[in-house]
């Protein structure tokens, strides 16, 4: 308990709630923000506060990694090798490696813990994890930030549908469940999972339009995913039905009735302008994974079109098996490199408030504003930077190599 208000002062305040401020400050009391603004104003408003200087730093909110698979962390060697030939090549290799090395066990857990700690050390305050095993659920309590574990369901065939629905009906309410992807999950299972999510008030993340071949599979036009499923004996043309639109992944999910403000469409690479409008109208969230998309060579998400239609996407690293660097800082750099017209400040907002909105955490996180959590980050910058634009560009392009410190309480840094 700190009875005194502490004012943290830095050359720059990037609150993400408004323009950046030079000589900015954040006043903190009992782990809550009680004021933000220019240092001189805040000092005048709160006499007697303890002042802590953070020279050559930017104060900003913690980042959000809106999509990760911690249980695949032991497969990091897959993303350190050459780039995959195709999405299906990677999928085949990943499944074989997971079979060979095991999906559970000490090595799997150790790798996941290391990755999770690395996320926090790099300034990530909240993550959404997708897994087929209980691993992430066992990690939530020790994690100093917020970790949302989602148990993923998949299964395409008609025969697997009834057992999957029965399993879902028996699932404890405390376990958030979600569907893997349109290409891997029976439409009735997707609907049942979404309905259960809504009943429990959970978010509903789902991989959408990651490889181009998802659309050709849905519309029964073949493609490498259809071939892959055929080879594994899972192929069934179960996507067509009355009132079901199979001309695009987003249209398909919309016609299944599962797109709303609690749905997080992860990847969203192969989506048309009309589909982005559907997402916007539904208030659905979008999480982009540019680093993983680059490694798997599935294409680039239409970032400028999302922004033009009023969607601020979140960012996610995806797993260590498909991304050589699990860093939201690097995801920001990938967006900037792939979409040079995207403003750096907008890219920083994707990694903070965009992620917080996707995970329904914006009441406490994502920006530095009065009443929100005082989990703030001090990120070092070269002392010579005098312009907001230079600082924003530096954070986006070079933030991965900056020193980061959490200011979680009172006057100290940890
Ligand atoms: Zn994923």
CA of 94 from ligand 1 middle (Å) equals 12
Residue 412's pLDDT is 45
CA of 165 from ligand 1 middle (Å) equals 22
Residue range(s) of every CATH 3.20.20.140 domain in the chain: 63-358
CA of 197 from ligand 1 middle (Å) equals 19
Task: Answer yes or no: CATH 2.30.40.10 is held by domain 6-62+366-407.
Answer: yes
- CB 262, CB 203: distance < 8 Å: yes
**Tell me: the pLDDT tens digits for 40-62?**
999 999 999 999 999 999 999 99
Sheet holding 176-179, edge to edge: 63-68, 124-131, 146-153, 176-179
Residue 174's pLDDT is 96
CA of 397 from ligand 1 middle (Å) equals 24
CA of 69 from ligand 1 middle (Å) equals 6
CA of 293 from ligand 1 middle (Å) equals 10
Q: Which residues of the chain have pLDDT under 50?
A: 1-2, 410-414
Angle among Cα 150, 319, 236 to the nearest 5 degrees reads 70
Minimal CA–CA distance to 124: which of 392, 410, 361? 361
DSSP letter (8 states) at residue 62: P
Q: What is the C-alpha separation between 30 and 245, in angstroms, rounded?
A: 52
Report the run of H or E that residue 266 belongs to, with start and end. strand 263-267
CA of 67 from ligand 1 middle (Å) equals 6
- Give me the chain's average pLDDT, please: 94
Q: What is the C-alpha separation between 9 and 412, in angstroms, rounded?
A: 13
Here the tokens at position 373 are 């959590």
Residue 278's pLDDT is 98
Residue 414's pLDDT is 40
Here the tokens at position 210 are 């990651």
Q: Indicate the pTM of the whole model.
A: 0.96
Residue 83's pLDDT is 65
Alpha helices in 86-241 (DSSP H): 87-101, 106-121, 135-139, 158-170, 187-200, 213-218, 224-231
Q: What is the C-alpha separation between 214 and 222, in angstroms, rounded?
A: 10
Minimal CA–CA distance to 144: which of 17, 288, 31? 31
**Residue whose structure tokens are 């259960």:** 196
Report the run of H or E that residue 401 belongs to, with start and end. none
Helix axes 249-256, 273-282, angle to 10 degrees: 30
Using DSSP's 3-state secondary structure scheme, residue 308 falls into helix
- CATH class, 63-358 region: alpha beta
Residue 179's pLDDT is 98
**Residue whose structure tokens are 């408004």:** 18
CA of 394 from ligand 1 middle (Å) equals 28
CA of 348 from ligand 1 middle (Å) equals 22
Residue 84's pLDDT is 62
Residue range(s) of every CATH 2.30.40.10 domain in the chain: 6-62+366-407
- CB 100, CB 81: distance < 8 Å: no
Residue 36's pLDDT is 97
- CB 216, CB 226: distance < 8 Å: yes
Residue 20's pLDDT is 96
**Residue whose structure tokens are 């100290």:** 412
């Amino acid at each position: 308990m700190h009875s005194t208000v502490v004012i943290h002062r830095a050359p720059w305040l990037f609150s993400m709630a408004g323009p950046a401020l030079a000589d900015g400050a954040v006043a903190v009391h009992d782990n809550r923000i009680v004021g933000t603004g220019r240092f001189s104003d805040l000092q005048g408003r709160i006499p007697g506060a303890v002042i802590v200087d953070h020279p050559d730093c930017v104060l900003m909110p913690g980042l959000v990694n809106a999509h990760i698979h911690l249980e695949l962390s032991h497969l990091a060697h897959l993303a350190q090798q050459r780039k995959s030939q195709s999405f299906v090549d990677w999928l085949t290799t990943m499944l074989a490696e997971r079979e060979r090395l095991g999906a559970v066990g000490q090595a799997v857990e150790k790798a996941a813990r290391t990755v999770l700690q690395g996320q926090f050390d790099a300034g990530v305050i909240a993550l959404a994890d997708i897994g087929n095993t209980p691993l992430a659920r066992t990690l939530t309590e020790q994690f100093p930030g917020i970790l949302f574990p989602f148990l993923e369901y998949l299964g395409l065939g008609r025969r697997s549908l009834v057992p999957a629905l029965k399993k879902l009906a028996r699932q404890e309410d405390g376990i958030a469940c979600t569907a893997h992807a349109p290409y891997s999950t029976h439409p009735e299972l997707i609907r049942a999972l979404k309905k259960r999510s809504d009943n429990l008030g959970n978010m509903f993340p789902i991989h959408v339009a990651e490889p181009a071949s998802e659309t050709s599979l849905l519309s029964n036009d073949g493609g490498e995913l259809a071939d892959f499923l055929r080879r594994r004996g899972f192929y069934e043309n179960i996507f067509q039905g009355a009132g079901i639109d199979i001309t695009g992944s987003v249209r398909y999910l919309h016609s299944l009735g599962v797109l709303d403000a609690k749905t997080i469409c992860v990847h969203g690479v192969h989506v048309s302008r009309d589909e982005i409008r559907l997402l916007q109208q539904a208030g659905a969230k979008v999480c982009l994974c540019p680093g993983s998309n680059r490694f798997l060579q599935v294409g680039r998400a239409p970032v400028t079109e999302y922004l033009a239609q009023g969607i601020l996407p979140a960012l996610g690293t995806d797993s260590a098996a498909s991304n050589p660097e699990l860093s939201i800082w690097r995801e920001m750099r990938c967006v900037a490199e792939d979409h040079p017209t995207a403003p750096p400040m907008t890219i920083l907002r994707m990694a903070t408030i965009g992620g917080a909105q996707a995970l329904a955490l914006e009441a406490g996180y994502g920006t530095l504003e009065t009443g929100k959590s005082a989990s703030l980050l001090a990120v070092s910058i070269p002392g010579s930077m005098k312009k907001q634009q230079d600082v924003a560009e530096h954070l986006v392009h070079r933030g991965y190599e900056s020193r980061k410190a959490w200011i979680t309480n009172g006057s100290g840094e940890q």
